[in-house]
Amino acid sequence: MLAEFLQYLFTGITIGATYALIALGFTLIYNASHVINFAQGEFLMIGGMATVSLTAMGVPMAVAVVLAVILAGVLGIALQRLAIAPAKQADVVTLIIITIGASIFIRGIAQLVWGKQYHVMQNFSTSEPIQVFGAVLNSQSLWVLGVGAVMVVALVLFFTKTLIGKAILATSMNKDAARLVGIRTQMVLMLAFMVSALLGSVAGIVVAPITFTSYDIGIILGLKGFVAAAIGGLGSGVGAVVGGLALGIVEAMTAGYISSDYKDAVAFSMILLVLFFMPRGLFGAKIVERV
């Protein structure tokens, strides 16, 4: 009974932590530019796939991870520079379609380079499962949680202690005012996309040994991250983390106790329920519309 519950909880928290990292990436870009980046999931895919193929070529794991993260970061900058920045006067929907086009493009390239099959990544440490009160815990789950926590703390420090982080925050609050005090907002936008890509790729790498990886995993993971960000309230960092964990746990519990066929339906019903009662998510800002 307890073992069963713990089992589902571990699964939920692990996948929830991944969702939280994706949601944080969404939040970052949303705050800086008010764009919902539907290519967010592709950063995860790039992280996982690049690491797998680099290690297969004999590159040591640590180096492969760093290279994969850098690759994703470059991709994030390219996305902002080449696709988002030139279309600055475009409608919200038009920007959504541009990011969807970008994600199809990236997926197409990944399919060319890595093929359509699933790729397996070894656990970072032992592949021996850990026993906790009768429940089985994959050692990789600890990596996911640990890395996730480190990323969140690093982000908080980045935004509160560094000048660049504060510049991003200032830009998200008021772009014109930020420019007036001398912040180069174009630079800030690029940085936001880069950091978001870094977050995504790290999430993609740590979760790859659990979920496997293939050229098309980005679609569904990206969507779940969007759901998590919307549950928490777009633009809220705390919301992204809470939303991600809540989504992961609810999904795992539904799959375990009710029906695994309907686990995604529960996730999507959850977002509807939250939005019915709290139209700006759990932690979303109460924005007064300026007329």
Partner 1 sequence: MLNRFMQSRLRGLMVLALILIIIPAFLSNPFHYELATQIAIIGATVVGLNLLVGFAGQISLGHAGFFGLGAYFTGIATGTYGWPSVPALLVGAIVVGIIAWVVGRPILRLKGHYLSMATLAVGFIIAIILNNERAITGGPDGMPVPAFEVFGWELSSFGTYSLFGLEISGVQAWYMFASGVLLLAVWFALNLIESPIGRALRSVHGSEVAASVVGVDTAKYKSLVFVISAIYASLMGGLYAHFQGFITPAVASFEFSILFITMVVLGGMGSTFGVILGAVVLKLLPQVLADFQELETVMFGLILMLTMIFMPKGLLPTLTAAVSKRLRKKTGGKA
- Binding residues with partner 1: total (CB under 8 A): 46
Closer by beta carbon to partner 1, 104 or else 145: 104
> Applying CB under 8 A, does 281 fall inside the site for partner 1?
yes
Closer by beta carbon to partner 1, 169 or else 216: 216
**Residue in the structure block whose two tokens are 């600055």:** 88
Return the number of other C-beta atoms located less than 10 Å from residue 157's C-beta: 11
> Applying CB under 8 A, does 96 fall inside the site for partner 1?
yes
Among 67, 70, 90, 249, binds partner 1 (CB under 8 A): 90
> Applying CB under 8 A, does 268 fall inside the site for partner 1?
yes
Name, in order, each residue with C-beta under 8 angstroms of 107's C-beta and a sequence gap of 6 or more: 42, 45, 215, 216, 218, 219
Give, as ranges, the residues between 24 and 63 that touch partner 1 (CB under 8 A). Answer: 30, 36
Give the Cα separation of 219 and 40 in Å (integer): 9
> Applying CB under 8 A, does 269 fall inside the site for partner 1?
yes
Q: Closest approach of Cβ 93 to partner 1, in Å?
A: 5
> Applying CB under 8 A, does 133 fall inside the site for partner 1?
no
Among 32, 83, 205, 206, binds partner 1 (CB under 8 A): 83
Give the Cα separation of 222 and 228 in Å (integer): 10
DSSP symbol at 85: G
Give which of 12, 131, 110 is closest to 53, Cα–Cα.
110
Beta strands in 124-245 (DSSP E): 130-132, 135-137
> Applying CB under 8 A, does 77 fall inside the site for partner 1?
no
Binding mask 199-238 for partner 1 (x = CB under 8 A): ------------------------x--xx--x---x----
> Applying CB under 8 A, does 271 fall inside the site for partner 1?
yes
Q: Closest approach of Cβ 231 to partner 1, in Å?
A: 9
Give which of 141, 256, 286, 162 is closest to 206, Cα–Cα.
141
- Angle between the N-to-C axes of helices 217-232 and 237-253, in degrees from 0 to 180, rounded to the nearest 10: 120
> Applying CB under 8 A, does 100 fall inside the site for partner 1?
yes
Closer by beta carbon to partner 1, 21 or else 98: 98
> Applying CB under 8 A, does 91 fall inside the site for partner 1?
yes
Closer by beta carbon to partner 1, 76 or else 209: 76
Give, as ranges, the residues between 144 and 203 that touch partner 1 (CB under 8 A). Answer: none
> Applying CB under 8 A, does 128 fall inside the site for partner 1?
no
Among 117, 276, 286, 288, binds partner 1 (CB under 8 A): 276
Bridge partners of residue 213, in order along the sequence: 119
Handedness of CA 271, 272, 278, 280 (dihedral sign): positive
For the chain, the helix, strand and coil percentages under 3-state DSSP, each to the nearest 5? 75, 5, 20
